[in-house]
Amino acid sequence: MTAARGTAAGEAAARGTSAKETAVYTHGHHESVLRSHRWRTAENSAAYLIGELRPGMRVLDVGCGPGTITADLAERVAPDGRVTAVDAAEDVLEQARAYAAERGLGDSVSFATADVHALDFPDDSFDVVHAHQVLQHVGDPVRALREMRRVCRPGGIVAARDADYAAMTWYPASPGLDDWLGLYRRVARANGGEPDAGRHLRAWARQAGFTDVTSSATAWCFATPEEIAWWSTLWADRTQASAYAATGGGHTTPARLAAVAEAWHAWGADPDAWFSVLNAEILCRV
């Protein structure tokens, strides 16, 4: 299914893209989703890119969400650098703007709505074009990477990092969490995305025409009591209250969703609980 975001077919036609390139953003921006996105920093989510950043650079952050990574990138290219942050959803950009203001970033960061498949910037506009946990949600990730390359100057860098859901692993075993993973992967695919994006990133970059691609992988690991409580509660809440819960309802029953949420709580109460999220990364030289 390539279901449209709002009137995406019409919007896509107006942009010169096809509805095939649109996908429904599986998570949406419910508070339970943003609780996990706001935890992200350049250090825990873009370490593979940090060494490439220099003061004065022009950075495009695609699919910026609530903008915590965006703000860190802006500090890394200060004092003269600029970050332009775009997202398909206007509601989350409001929150990202407020966060950047709280951080006192002034006009070193600006925000706009945009679809990564058809960016409204001239060729060669940026030194670095970055997308964190975005390509897994788009209808045509190869076209997205081509578009990211188009707006990046020759010699610049296109950087992307995505989780690979099938490679997520945890302890102790839980049939309810197995159910969660199977359901999430079905829903994400039905929405037009690729939940196991991590393993595809290198191939997508090569299909997009990049010849200089550096691949790496890093994991998030949640193991302290605080981390486990945070991760298990936010997924229990996401399973019941986020956009994923709403679309998930079309693929399972409310009772099964409730059982998955309960499984997250039960798993999170185990003092031995441990969870790891594998993330693949690509640095593509333009």
Ligand X SMILES: C[S@@+](CC[C@H](N)C(=O)[O-])C[C@H]1O[C@@H](n2cnc3c(N)ncnc32)[C@H](O)[C@@H]1O
Phi then psi for 61, rounded to 5 degrees?
-110, 110
Least Å distance, CB 87 to ligand X, is 5
Q: Is 130 helix (H, G, I), strand (E, B) or coil?
A: strand
Span of 58-66, 103-111, 221-229, 259-267 interacting with ligand X by CB under 6 A: 58-66
Residue 69 as a binder of ligand X (CB under 6 A): the answer is: yes
Residue 96 or residue 273: which is nearer to ligand X going by CB? 96
Out of 32, 63, 83, 141, point to the residue binding ligand X (CB under 6 A): 63
- For residue 243, give the amino acid letter: A
Out of 89, 166, 223, 241, point to the residue binding ligand X (CB under 6 A): 89
Query: In terms of DSSP H, where are the helices of the chain?
Result: 8-15, 31-37, 42-45, 47-50, 68-77, 90-102, 141-150, 175-190, 197-207, 225-241, 243-248, 254-268
- Ranked by CB distance to ligand X, the top (closest) residue is 65
Q: Is 212 helix (H, G, I), strand (E, B) or coil?
A: strand
Residue 115 or residue 127: which is nearer to ligand X going by CB? 115
How far apart are the C-alpha atoms of 73 and 82, rounded to whole Å? 9
Q: Which of residues 131-170 bind ligand X (CB under 6 A)?
A: 132-134, 137-138
How far apart are the C-alpha atoms of 141 and 169, rounded to whole Å? 25
Of 226, 225, 206, 230, nearest in space to 285 by CA: 206
The DSSP code for 21 is G
Span of 6-14, 101-109, 115-123, 263-271 interacting with ligand X by CB under 6 A: 115-123
How far apart are the C-alpha atoms of 198 and 281, rounded to whole Å? 7
Residue 64 as a binder of ligand X (CB under 6 A): the answer is: yes
The DSSP code for 269 is T
- For residue 168, give the amino acid letter: M
Least Å distance, CB 39 to ligand X, is 9
Span of 63-71, 150-158, 181-189, 239-247 interacting with ligand X by CB under 6 A: 63-71
The DSSP code for 116 is T
Residue 4 or residue 223: which is nearer to ligand X going by CB? 4
Least Å distance, CB 213 to ligand X, is 20
Residue 170 β-bridge partners: 275
Q: Which of residues 36-55 bind ligand X (CB under 6 A)?
A: 37, 40
Residue 42 or residue 273: which is nearer to ligand X going by CB? 42
Residue 191 as a binder of ligand X (CB under 6 A): the answer is: no
Least Å distance, CB 271 to ligand X, is 29
Residues that bind ligand X (CB under 6 A): 25, 37, 40, 62-65, 69, 87-89, 92, 114-117, 132-134, 137-138
